[in-house]
Structure 1
Protein backbone atom coordinates (compact mmCIF):
# COMPACT_ATOMS: atom_id res chain seq x y z
CA UNK A 1 0.00 0.00 0.00
CA UNK A 2 2.97 2.35 0.61
CA UNK A 3 3.93 2.08 -3.06
CA UNK A 4 0.35 2.94 -4.04
CA UNK A 5 0.54 6.07 -1.88
CA UNK A 6 3.86 7.14 -3.46
CA UNK A 7 2.48 6.77 -6.97
CA UNK A 8 -0.69 8.70 -6.10
CA UNK A 9 1.45 11.49 -4.64
CA UNK A 10 3.55 11.58 -7.83
CA UNK A 11 0.40 11.88 -9.92
CA UNK A 12 -0.94 14.76 -7.84
CA UNK A 13 2.44 16.52 -7.91
CA UNK A 14 2.54 16.14 -11.70
CA UNK A 15 -0.80 17.89 -12.19
CA UNK A 16 -0.39 20.60 -9.53
CA UNK A 17 0.08 23.99 -11.11
CA UNK A 18 -1.94 23.16 -14.22
CA UNK A 19 -5.10 25.19 -14.74
CA UNK A 20 -8.50 23.49 -14.91
CA UNK A 21 -8.59 24.51 -18.58
CA UNK A 22 -5.27 22.76 -19.25
CA UNK A 23 -6.42 19.68 -17.33
CA UNK A 24 -9.62 19.47 -19.38
CA UNK A 25 -7.92 20.16 -22.74
CA UNK A 26 -7.57 17.35 -25.27
CA UNK A 27 -4.08 17.72 -26.77
CA UNK A 28 -4.69 14.67 -28.98
CA UNK A 29 -7.91 13.86 -30.79
CA UNK A 30 -9.44 10.61 -29.62
CA UNK A 31 -7.50 10.50 -26.34
CA UNK A 32 -8.52 11.38 -22.84
CA UNK A 33 -7.68 14.70 -21.24
CA UNK A 34 -5.59 14.70 -18.07
CA UNK A 35 -8.72 15.26 -15.97
CA UNK A 36 -10.36 12.27 -17.66
CA UNK A 37 -7.32 10.12 -16.82
CA UNK A 38 -7.64 11.21 -13.17
CA UNK A 39 -11.38 10.49 -13.23
CA UNK A 40 -10.63 7.05 -14.72
CA UNK A 41 -8.26 6.34 -11.79
CA UNK A 42 -11.05 7.26 -9.37
CA UNK A 43 -13.59 5.06 -11.17
CA UNK A 44 -11.12 2.18 -11.34
CA UNK A 45 -10.17 2.32 -7.67
CA UNK A 46 -13.83 2.51 -6.69
CA UNK A 47 -14.69 -0.50 -8.90
CA UNK A 48 -11.80 -2.57 -7.52
CA UNK A 49 -12.75 -1.67 -3.94
CA UNK A 50 -16.34 -2.75 -4.57
CA UNK A 51 -15.27 -6.02 -6.20
CA UNK A 52 -12.88 -6.85 -3.34
CA UNK A 53 -15.60 -6.01 -0.79
CA UNK A 54 -18.10 -8.26 -2.61
CA UNK A 55 -15.62 -11.15 -2.73
CA UNK A 56 -14.72 -10.74 0.94
CA UNK A 57 -18.43 -11.10 1.82
CA UNK A 58 -18.77 -14.20 -0.36
CA UNK A 59 -18.05 -17.75 0.79
CA UNK A 60 -16.63 -18.57 -2.64
CA UNK A 61 -12.91 -19.29 -2.63
CA UNK A 62 -11.08 -19.37 -5.94
CA UNK A 63 -7.36 -19.29 -5.40
CA UNK A 64 -5.30 -17.70 -8.18
CA UNK A 65 -1.64 -18.08 -9.03
CA UNK A 66 0.37 -14.87 -8.96
CA UNK A 67 0.41 -13.03 -12.26
CA UNK A 68 3.06 -10.62 -13.64
CA UNK A 69 0.96 -7.54 -12.77
CA UNK A 70 4.04 -5.31 -13.06
CA UNK A 71 3.53 -5.60 -16.84
CA UNK A 72 0.59 -3.24 -16.35
CA UNK A 73 2.97 -0.27 -16.68
CA UNK A 74 3.94 -1.30 -20.24
CA UNK A 75 2.11 1.26 -22.37
CA UNK A 76 3.06 -0.53 -25.61
CA UNK A 77 0.20 -2.91 -24.87
CA UNK A 78 -3.02 -1.00 -25.47
CA UNK A 79 -5.96 -1.93 -23.26
CA UNK A 80 -9.54 -0.85 -23.86
CA UNK A 81 -11.06 0.40 -20.59
CA UNK A 82 -14.26 -1.40 -19.58
CA UNK A 83 -17.30 0.88 -19.97
CA UNK A 84 -17.81 1.25 -16.21
CA UNK A 85 -14.42 2.96 -15.82
CA UNK A 86 -14.60 5.24 -18.86
CA UNK A 87 -14.60 8.85 -17.62
CA UNK A 88 -17.19 11.41 -18.59
CA UNK A 89 -16.55 14.25 -21.04
CA UNK A 90 -17.84 16.87 -18.61
CA UNK A 91 -15.60 19.70 -17.41
CA UNK A 92 -14.25 19.00 -13.92
CA UNK A 93 -11.97 20.98 -11.67
CA UNK A 94 -8.82 19.55 -10.14
CA UNK A 95 -10.29 20.11 -6.66
CA UNK A 96 -13.37 18.07 -7.57
CA UNK A 97 -11.31 15.19 -8.89
CA UNK A 98 -8.86 15.35 -5.96
CA UNK A 99 -11.83 15.01 -3.58
CA UNK A 100 -13.08 11.98 -5.51
CA UNK A 101 -9.61 10.41 -5.51
CA UNK A 102 -9.26 11.01 -1.75
CA UNK A 103 -12.66 9.38 -1.16
CA UNK A 104 -11.87 6.31 -3.29
CA UNK A 105 -8.43 5.91 -1.68
CA UNK A 106 -9.84 6.19 1.82
CA UNK A 107 -12.42 3.47 1.11
CA UNK A 108 -9.75 1.25 -0.50
CA UNK A 109 -7.30 1.64 2.40
CA UNK A 110 -9.99 0.99 5.00
CA UNK A 111 -11.19 -2.14 3.20
CA UNK A 112 -7.68 -3.56 2.84
CA UNK A 113 -6.78 -2.67 6.43
CA UNK A 114 -9.81 -4.55 7.77
CA UNK A 115 -9.51 -7.57 5.46
CA UNK A 116 -8.41 -10.98 6.67
CA UNK A 117 -5.06 -11.96 5.13
CA UNK A 118 -6.26 -15.52 4.35
CA UNK A 119 -9.26 -14.18 2.47
CA UNK A 120 -7.02 -11.87 0.44
CA UNK A 121 -4.86 -14.86 -0.54
CA UNK A 122 -7.63 -17.40 -1.13
CA UNK A 123 -10.20 -15.32 -2.98
CA UNK A 124 -9.99 -13.78 -6.42
CA UNK A 125 -11.85 -12.14 -9.26
CA UNK A 126 -10.94 -11.83 -12.93
CA UNK A 127 -8.95 -9.10 -14.62
CA UNK A 128 -9.57 -8.56 -18.38
CA UNK A 129 -5.98 -9.55 -19.32
CA UNK A 130 -4.54 -11.44 -16.34
CA UNK A 131 -7.69 -13.53 -15.74
CA UNK A 132 -8.11 -14.56 -12.07
CA UNK A 133 -6.14 -12.28 -9.73
CA UNK A 134 -6.07 -12.88 -6.00
CA UNK A 135 -7.53 -10.10 -3.88
CA UNK A 136 -4.02 -9.71 -2.50
CA UNK A 137 -2.63 -9.00 -6.00
CA UNK A 138 -5.39 -6.52 -6.76
CA UNK A 139 -3.91 -4.25 -4.04
CA UNK A 140 -0.56 -3.57 -5.77
CA UNK A 141 -2.32 -3.71 -9.16
CA UNK A 142 -3.97 -0.38 -8.26
CA UNK A 143 -0.51 1.19 -7.95
CA UNK A 144 0.81 -0.35 -11.19
CA UNK A 145 -2.32 0.83 -12.99
CA UNK A 146 -1.83 4.36 -11.66
CA UNK A 147 1.86 4.27 -12.62
CA UNK A 148 0.83 3.36 -16.17
CA UNK A 149 -1.44 6.39 -16.26
CA UNK A 150 1.20 8.64 -14.65
CA UNK A 151 3.25 8.03 -17.79
CA UNK A 152 0.20 8.91 -19.90
CA UNK A 153 -0.38 12.11 -17.91
CA UNK A 154 3.25 13.12 -18.43
CA UNK A 155 2.89 12.54 -22.19
CA UNK A 156 -0.31 14.60 -22.31
CA UNK A 157 1.23 17.35 -20.20
CA UNK A 158 4.18 17.63 -22.62
CA UNK A 159 1.72 18.23 -25.48
CA UNK A 160 -0.25 21.03 -23.81
Structure 2
Protein backbone atom coordinates (compact mmCIF):
# COMPACT_ATOMS: atom_id res chain seq x y z
CA UNK A 1 0.00 0.00 0.00
CA UNK A 2 2.81 2.43 0.81
CA UNK A 3 4.37 1.86 -2.62
CA UNK A 4 1.05 2.60 -4.36
CA UNK A 5 0.63 5.81 -2.37
CA UNK A 6 4.13 6.97 -3.34
CA UNK A 7 3.55 6.25 -7.04
CA UNK A 8 0.25 8.12 -7.04
CA UNK A 9 1.65 11.02 -5.07
CA UNK A 10 4.31 11.25 -7.74
CA UNK A 11 1.47 11.48 -10.28
CA UNK A 12 -0.06 14.41 -8.38
CA UNK A 13 3.34 16.11 -8.19
CA UNK A 14 3.89 15.46 -11.92
CA UNK A 15 0.52 17.00 -12.81
CA UNK A 16 1.21 20.04 -10.62
CA UNK A 17 4.69 20.46 -12.11
CA UNK A 18 3.17 20.39 -15.62
CA UNK A 19 0.82 23.23 -14.63
CA UNK A 20 3.75 25.14 -13.12
CA UNK A 21 5.77 24.72 -16.31
CA UNK A 22 2.85 26.00 -18.42
CA UNK A 23 2.34 28.92 -16.02
CA UNK A 24 6.02 29.82 -16.19
CA UNK A 25 6.04 29.68 -20.01
CA UNK A 26 3.02 31.98 -20.07
CA UNK A 27 4.36 34.43 -17.49
CA UNK A 28 7.81 34.54 -19.09
CA UNK A 29 6.12 35.56 -22.34
CA UNK A 30 3.76 38.22 -20.98
CA UNK A 31 6.42 39.76 -18.73
CA UNK A 32 8.46 40.58 -21.85
CA UNK A 33 5.68 42.88 -23.05
CA UNK A 34 5.38 46.56 -22.28
CA UNK A 35 2.16 47.82 -20.74
CA UNK A 36 1.21 49.31 -24.12
CA UNK A 37 1.73 45.96 -25.83
CA UNK A 38 -0.25 44.11 -23.14
CA UNK A 39 -3.17 46.52 -23.60
CA UNK A 40 -3.10 46.44 -27.43
CA UNK A 41 -6.02 44.94 -29.37
CA UNK A 42 -6.13 44.34 -33.11
CA UNK A 43 -9.90 44.95 -32.98
CA UNK A 44 -12.48 45.77 -30.27
CA UNK A 45 -13.89 42.23 -30.03
CA UNK A 46 -10.49 40.55 -29.54
CA UNK A 47 -9.06 40.11 -26.06
CA UNK A 48 -5.75 41.76 -25.31
CA UNK A 49 -3.02 40.15 -23.18
CA UNK A 50 -4.44 41.74 -20.02
CA UNK A 51 -7.89 40.26 -20.78
CA UNK A 52 -6.40 36.83 -21.45
CA UNK A 53 -4.36 36.90 -18.24
CA UNK A 54 -7.32 38.04 -16.14
CA UNK A 55 -9.41 35.27 -17.71
CA UNK A 56 -6.74 32.67 -16.90
CA UNK A 57 -6.67 33.85 -13.29
CA UNK A 58 -10.46 33.77 -12.89
CA UNK A 59 -10.84 30.37 -14.60
CA UNK A 60 -8.05 28.71 -12.64
CA UNK A 61 -9.05 30.23 -9.31
CA UNK A 62 -12.59 28.95 -9.81
CA UNK A 63 -11.34 25.54 -10.90
CA UNK A 64 -9.07 25.08 -7.88
CA UNK A 65 -11.83 26.28 -5.56
CA UNK A 66 -14.30 23.87 -7.15
CA UNK A 67 -11.93 20.90 -6.90
CA UNK A 68 -11.26 21.66 -3.26
CA UNK A 69 -15.01 21.92 -2.52
CA UNK A 70 -15.63 18.55 -4.20
CA UNK A 71 -12.79 16.95 -2.24
CA UNK A 72 -14.09 18.30 1.07
CA UNK A 73 -17.70 17.36 0.33
CA UNK A 74 -16.62 13.81 -0.51
CA UNK A 75 -14.65 13.57 2.72
CA UNK A 76 -17.71 14.84 4.60
CA UNK A 77 -19.67 11.92 3.15
CA UNK A 78 -21.67 13.98 0.66
CA UNK A 79 -22.29 12.73 -2.85
CA UNK A 80 -20.47 14.95 -5.30
CA UNK A 81 -21.36 13.43 -8.69
CA UNK A 82 -24.17 11.11 -9.66
CA UNK A 83 -24.02 11.18 -13.43
CA UNK A 84 -22.12 9.07 -15.91
CA UNK A 85 -18.34 9.52 -16.11
CA UNK A 86 -18.33 9.55 -19.91
CA UNK A 87 -14.83 11.06 -20.16
CA UNK A 88 -13.25 8.29 -18.04
CA UNK A 89 -9.71 7.57 -19.18
CA UNK A 90 -9.57 10.32 -21.81
CA UNK A 91 -6.90 13.01 -21.97
CA UNK A 92 -7.98 16.62 -21.77
CA UNK A 93 -7.03 17.09 -25.41
CA UNK A 94 -9.44 14.29 -26.41
CA UNK A 95 -12.18 15.77 -24.23
CA UNK A 96 -11.78 19.30 -25.61
CA UNK A 97 -11.77 17.94 -29.16
CA UNK A 98 -15.10 16.21 -28.45
CA UNK A 99 -16.81 18.97 -26.48
CA UNK A 100 -15.61 22.42 -27.57
CA UNK A 101 -16.65 24.49 -30.56
CA UNK A 102 -13.86 26.18 -32.56
CA UNK A 103 -14.54 29.51 -30.81
CA UNK A 104 -16.08 28.83 -27.44
CA UNK A 105 -17.97 31.43 -25.38
CA UNK A 106 -16.33 32.01 -22.02
CA UNK A 107 -18.49 31.24 -18.96
CA UNK A 108 -19.44 34.53 -17.28
CA UNK A 109 -17.63 33.64 -14.06
CA UNK A 110 -14.31 33.44 -15.94
CA UNK A 111 -14.82 36.45 -18.21
CA UNK A 112 -12.35 39.33 -17.90
CA UNK A 113 -14.05 42.43 -16.53
CA UNK A 114 -11.64 44.59 -14.54
CA UNK A 115 -8.71 45.22 -16.84
CA UNK A 116 -5.82 47.14 -15.38
CA UNK A 117 -2.07 46.65 -15.41
CA UNK A 118 -0.59 43.42 -16.78
CA UNK A 119 1.71 43.28 -13.74
CA UNK A 120 -1.27 42.86 -11.43
CA UNK A 121 -2.80 40.00 -13.41
CA UNK A 122 0.56 38.29 -13.97
CA UNK A 123 1.22 38.38 -10.21
CA UNK A 124 -2.33 37.16 -9.52
CA UNK A 125 -1.94 34.25 -11.93
CA UNK A 126 1.44 33.37 -10.45
CA UNK A 127 -0.06 33.38 -6.93
CA UNK A 128 -2.42 30.55 -7.86
CA UNK A 129 0.49 28.10 -7.78
CA UNK A 130 0.41 28.41 -3.97
CA UNK A 131 -3.27 27.36 -3.93
CA UNK A 132 -2.63 24.54 -6.40
CA UNK A 133 0.32 23.21 -4.39
CA UNK A 134 -1.71 23.31 -1.17
CA UNK A 135 -4.60 21.49 -2.84
CA UNK A 136 -2.24 18.85 -4.23
CA UNK A 137 -0.77 18.36 -0.77
CA UNK A 138 -4.26 17.67 0.62
CA UNK A 139 -5.30 15.36 -2.23
CA UNK A 140 -5.34 11.62 -1.59
CA UNK A 141 -4.13 9.22 -4.25
CA UNK A 142 -7.50 7.63 -4.95
CA UNK A 143 -9.17 11.00 -5.43
CA UNK A 144 -7.38 11.78 -8.71
CA UNK A 145 -9.86 9.70 -10.68
CA UNK A 146 -12.69 9.16 -8.20
CA UNK A 147 -13.64 12.82 -7.65
CA UNK A 148 -15.57 14.59 -10.37
CA UNK A 149 -15.74 18.38 -10.76
CA UNK A 150 -17.76 19.28 -13.88
CA UNK A 151 -16.39 21.84 -16.30
CA UNK A 152 -18.98 24.33 -17.66
CA UNK A 153 -18.27 23.33 -21.28
CA UNK A 154 -16.76 19.84 -21.16
CA UNK A 155 -18.90 18.33 -18.42
CA UNK A 156 -17.70 15.81 -15.82
CA UNK A 157 -13.92 15.85 -15.43
CA UNK A 158 -12.05 13.90 -12.80
CA UNK A 159 -9.35 15.66 -10.81
CA UNK A 160 -6.56 14.28 -13.03
CA UNK A 161 -8.35 15.74 -16.05
CA UNK A 162 -8.85 19.02 -14.18
CA UNK A 163 -5.10 19.27 -13.55
CA UNK A 164 -4.53 18.49 -17.24
CA UNK A 165 -7.08 21.16 -18.12
CA UNK A 166 -5.18 23.81 -16.17
CA UNK A 167 -2.02 23.03 -18.16
CA UNK A 168 -3.90 22.80 -21.46
CA UNK A 169 -5.81 26.04 -20.83
CA UNK A 170 -2.70 28.06 -20.00
CA UNK A 171 -0.91 26.72 -23.09
CA UNK A 172 -3.97 27.42 -25.26
CA UNK A 173 -3.94 31.05 -24.19
CA UNK A 174 -0.16 31.29 -24.53
CA UNK A 175 -0.75 30.51 -28.20
CA UNK A 176 -3.23 33.40 -28.35
CA UNK A 177 -0.66 35.74 -26.78
CA UNK A 178 1.95 34.61 -29.31
CA UNK A 179 -0.52 35.30 -32.12
CA UNK A 180 -1.25 38.77 -30.72
CA UNK A 181 2.48 39.48 -30.48
CA UNK A 182 2.90 38.62 -34.15
CA UNK A 183 0.19 41.16 -35.05
CA UNK A 184 1.44 44.01 -32.86
CA UNK A 185 2.75 47.10 -34.60
CA UNK A 186 6.53 47.37 -34.38
- Fold conserved (TM > 0.5)? yes
Partner of residue 110, structure 2: 85
**Contact 2:147/2:159 (<8 A) preserved:** yes
What is the aligned counterpart of 1:26 among 26, 41, 53? Answer: 41
| Residue equivalent to 2:67 | 52
Q: Deviations over 1:50-100 (max 9, x none)?
A: 100110111325473133312549x9822111000001253x223211221
Question: Does the Cα contact within 8 Å between 1:67 and 1:130 map onto a contact in 2?
Answer: no
SS at match of 2:157: strand
How many matched pairs?
159
Contiguous gaps of at least 5 residues in structure 1? none
What's the TM-score once normalised by structure 1's chain length? 0.88
The Cα offsets for residues 91-134 of structure 1, whole Å up to 9 and x where unpaired, read as: x2232112211222211221122111222321102123432111
- Say which one has the larger Rg: 2
Q: Select which of 19, 31, 50 maps to 1:4.
A: 19
The verdict on how the C-alpha distance between 1:55 and 1:76 changes in structure 2, with shifts beyond 3 A counting, is closer
1:53-132 residue pairs with structure 2 within 5 A? Answer: 53-58=68-73, 59-62=78-81, 64=85, 65-71=88-94, 72=96, 77-90=102-115, 92-132=116-156
Distance 1:40 1:61 in 2: 26
Which consecutive residues of structure 2, in runs of 5 or more, have no partner in the other structure?
1-15
Give per-residue Cα distances to partners, 1:31-50, cap 9 Å, x unaligned.
11111101111111100011
Q: Point out the structure with the larger strand share.
A: 1
Residue in 2 that maps onto 1:141: 165
Corresponding residue number in structure 1 for 2:7: none
Query: TM-score, structure 2 length as denominator?
Result: 0.77
Distance 2:28 2:123 in 1: 15
Q: Distance in 2 between matches of 1:39 and 1:18?
A: 15
2 CA distance for matches of 1:6 and 1:125?
A: 23
